[in-house]
Structures are given as structure tokens and as C-alpha cells.
């Protein structure tokens, strides 16, 4: 019997359909084929990207080899950082100029590695770079939100093969985030508790949807997963902002993120995926009702007419089964 489930934050229904293709082997993911050719993100090609905004280097000069991570402006930015924010009305329509920032985080100098194959320490570096960029962009009073996201694999929208994530800073709080924040606020008003903290508590108790956990973090297949093998990474403790955590937490976060991606890699054979980092907007001050997290969405199915027309998602893999596949991938004792 299919089941309708409602997400407690987003007021969003999903259809968990058990009769469709649901095992990992039922999903045909396009194999990631090496594209080859010239790569502007590789070490040695620093002059082929815009100048670096920041980098982790061992004493080498900017825009030369000898780095472990670089952040550069996007060569084809969706938004630009120069100028003033002009808001305008045109009859009933509103518009403003495309002010913002669009940056690329080159996660490794090595072309063939991915976040799922790189050491945890490198993933931690990536999280530090996210943090540093968010802190820096926050200082710009024209901006209200920074979205960190990653497209992995062509099917998930990655135009370059080399492992990278992107940052877009916006002069408005995006709708998806605003809705999530609002949903969390409504829950808080009602119960006087953070909905994410409640999710963490219940998932740790129930265990059936937990993929992995350590002292500070856990990854779960959310109760109302929109997509097969969707996973969220959450801090166990209440942290509204990604950039405001004790230093040691970033290593813990990196370990769970890395482990979750590695398990997905094994179960789903290097699937294309997107992830987003959701954190509080710049507008909020003291926040009891919002809790930062990663949402990871493997691209195994296509969003079709029904989803577009209703906002309902049809998910052919119950999250309890997805979590079990992901948990058990290491049960033969092999090294994750
Ligand atoms: Zn490369
Ligand atoms: Zn919380
Ligand atoms: Zn979210």
C-alpha cells in the first residue's frame, strides 16, 4: 500500500510508493564518464580562473600551484557583486538588479577525486572554506543570504567534472529557505521547541532512519523524503548558524558528511547528486527555532508533471529501506 507522509517543517506531502522500482539496483544512474580535455580547475591552470578570493596554501603565492583548496569568482556569474541594490516597480511587477556573489570552491587540486573519495581532513577543509566565505559575505550589508551548494555529476547540473562546490550570496532570502524558516517558526510557536531538535531526538530513539552518527552529528533519511536515498546531515546540538560552532564541530560534521557520501557512493555506484547547506539568514538575530543542516539529494529519478502540478513528490524508496541499505553497506567488515 502506498503511504502519504507529511514533512513536519515544510507542510509538504510525499507519496511513498512501495510498488515501483525501489532497490538500489533498480535505479539506472548514468555512469560518470571521464570527459577529458582541458580543466581550468586543475593545479597549474590557476591563470585560467578569475583571481582567487581565498586559498589554503603552504606559503606559495596566490594564483600559482601549491594549494589544497581555492575559492574563485564564477567565470559566468549568475549575479554580480558590483553596484548598488536598486529596487524598482514596473506596474504590478517588481524587479531589482542582479546584485550578489557567485563563487566556486575548488575542493582539491586532484582532478579525479570526489568528496566521497577524499580524506575526511579534506572534507573538513571544504567546510572551513564555506564557513570563512559565509563570515566574509555576511559583512556586506546589501546581502541577506548565502547559499552553499554542490552539483555532482552532469545529471545533477555539474558543468565541470573537477570536484567543486558553489556559493551564491543573494540580496533576498530565497523562497525555499523562507518557507523552511517559517515552518520551523510555526512549530516553535506551537510547541516551544525547535523542530529540528525534535527530529534529531526522535530519529535517535527510533533508529530506523539513521544512516550514521557520531558524537556531534547524525545523518538520516528524512521521514517524508522527497527523493529516493535523500539524506540530511544535522548537528545533534542546537546550532542555528553553520558559521557559529566550536572549532571541533567542523571535524565531526565533515566525518558524517564524508561517511554519508561514501555510503551512497557504494550503494548507488557514484550517483549524481546535489546538496545544499541551509543556515539562518543574515536578518535573524537570536534564533531558537532554526537549526542548520545539509540536504543531500541523489539524482535517481526525474521530477515530472505530477510534482510540478501539485508540489507532491512521489518517492519509490521508503526512507527506512534507504537508510538500511546505506547503513549495511559496511556490514561485511570492509573499510568504508
Ligand atoms: Zn581538473
Ligand atoms: Zn534545534
Ligand atoms: Zn533545509
Rg (CA), the chain: 20
How far away, in angstroms, is 197 Cα from ligand 2 center?
A: 4
Closest CA to 230 of 298, 180, 294: 298
CA distance 48 to 34: 20
User: pLDDT digit string (tens) for 37-73?
Assistant: 899 999 999 999 999 999 999 999 999 999 999 999 9
Take residue 179 and report the three cell numbers written for it: 518557507
How far away, in angstroms, is 161 Cα from ligand 1 center?
A: 7
Look at strands 217-220 and 231-235 and give their pairing: antiparallel
Active site residues: 164
Take residue 189 and report the three cell numbers written for it: 510557536
pLDDT at position 80 is 84
Q: Sign of torsion, CA 157 232 173 143?
A: negative
Q: Quick one: what percent of the chain has pLDDT higher than 70?
A: 95
Closest ligand (CA of 107): 1
Closest ligand (CA of 10): 3
CA distance 65 to 49: 13
Take residue 304 and report the three cell numbers written for it: 515530472
Query: What mean pLDDT do residues 247-276 have?
Result: 96
User: Is pLDDT of 333 > 60?
Assistant: no
CA distance 71 to 101: 12
The more confident residue out of 232 and 281 is: 232
User: pLDDT digit string (tens) for 79-136?
Assistant: 888 878 888 899 999 888 888 999 999 999 999 999 999 999 999 999 999 999 999 9
Q: How many CB atoms lie within 10 A of CB 228?
A: 28
Cβ-proximal residues to 116 (8 Å cutoff; 6+ apart), any chain: 258, 261, 262, 264, 265, 270
Please give all residues whose CB falls under 5 A of ion ligand 2, grouped by chain where several chains appear.
194, 196-197, 238, 291
CA distance 225 to 294: 14
How far away, in angstroms, is 121 Cα from ligand 1 center?
A: 20
Q: In this structure, are residues 231 and 221 in contact, taking their beta carbons and an 8 Å threshold? A: yes
How far away, in angstroms, is 80 Cα from ligand 2 center?
A: 34
How far away, in angstroms, is 70 Cα from ligand 1 center?
A: 12
Question: Which pTM value belongs to this model?
Answer: 0.94
Closest ligand (CA of 40): 1
pLDDT band at 286 (very low <50, low <70, confident <90, very high): low
Closest ligand (CA of 38): 1
| Burial bucket for residue 216 (CB in 10 Å: 0-12, 13-18, 19+) | buried
How far away, in angstroms, is 62 Cα from ligand 1 center?
A: 18
| Burial bucket for residue 278 (CB in 10 Å: 0-12, 13-18, 19+) | buried
User: Is pLDDT of 317 > 70?
Assistant: yes
Output the average pLDDT for the chain.
92
Cα–Cα–Cα angle for 171, 106, 255, rounded to 5 degrees: 95
How far away, in angstroms, is 113 Cα from ligand 1 center?
A: 9
pLDDT at position 83 is 78
Amino acid at each position: 500500500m502506498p503511504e502519504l507522509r507529511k514533512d513536519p517543517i515544510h507542510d509538504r506531502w510525499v507519496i511513498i510508493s512501495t510498488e515501483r522500482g525501489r532497490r538500489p539496483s533498480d535505479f539506472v544512474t548514468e555512469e560518470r564518464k571521464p570527459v577529458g580535455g582541458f580543466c581550468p580547475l586543475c593545479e597549474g591552470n590557476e591563470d585560467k580562473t578569475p583571481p582567487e578570493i581565498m586559498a589554503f596554501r603552504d606559503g606559495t603565492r596566490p594564483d600559482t600551484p601549491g594549494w589544497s583548496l581555492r575559492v574563485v569568482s564564477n567565470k559566468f556569474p549568475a549575479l554580480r557583486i558590483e553596484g548598488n541594490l536598486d529596487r524598482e516597480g514596473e506596474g504590478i511587477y517588481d524587479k531589482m538588479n542582479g546584485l550578489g556573489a557567485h563563487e566556486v570552491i575548488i575542493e582539491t587540486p586532484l582532478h579525479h577525486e570526489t568528496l566521497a573519495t577524499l580524506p575526511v581532513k579534506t572534507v573538513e577543509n571544504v567546510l572551513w572554506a564555506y564557513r570563512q566565505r559565509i563570515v566574509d559575505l555576511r559583512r556586506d550589508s546589501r546581502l541577506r543570504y548565502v547559499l552553499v551548494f554542490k552539483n555532482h555529476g552532469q545529471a545533477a547540473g555539474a558543468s565541470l567534472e573537477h570536484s567543486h562546490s558553489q556559493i551564491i550570496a543573494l540580496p533576498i532570502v530565497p523562497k525555499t529557505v523562507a518557507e523552511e524558516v517559517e515552518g520551523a517558526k510555526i512549530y516553535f510557536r506551537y510547541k516551544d521547541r525547535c523542530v529540528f531538535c525534535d527530529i534529531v531526538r526522535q530519529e535517535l530513539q527510533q533508529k530506523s532512519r539513521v544512516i550514521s552518527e557520531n558524537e556531534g552529528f547524525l545523518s538520516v533519511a528524512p521521514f517524508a523524503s522527497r527523493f529516493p536515498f535523500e539524506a540530511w546531515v544535522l548537528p545533534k546540538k542546537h546550532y542555528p548558524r553553520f558559521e557559529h560552532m566550536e572549532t571541533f564541530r567542523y571535524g565531526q560534521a565533515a566525518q558524517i558528511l564524508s561517511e554519508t557520501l561514501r555510503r551512497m557512493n557504494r550503494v548507488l555506484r557514484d550517483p549524481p547528486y546535489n546538496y545544499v547547506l541551509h543556515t539562518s539568514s543574515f536578518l535573524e538575530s537570536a534564533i531558537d527555532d532554526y537549526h542548520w543542516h545539509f540536504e543531500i539529494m541523489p539524482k535517481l529519478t526525474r521530477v515530472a508533471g505530477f510534482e510540478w502540478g501539485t508540489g507532491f513528490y512521489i518517492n519509490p524508496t521508503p526512507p527506512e529501506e534507504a537508510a538500511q541499505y546505506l547503513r549495511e553497506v559496511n556490514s561485511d567488515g570492509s573499510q568504508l
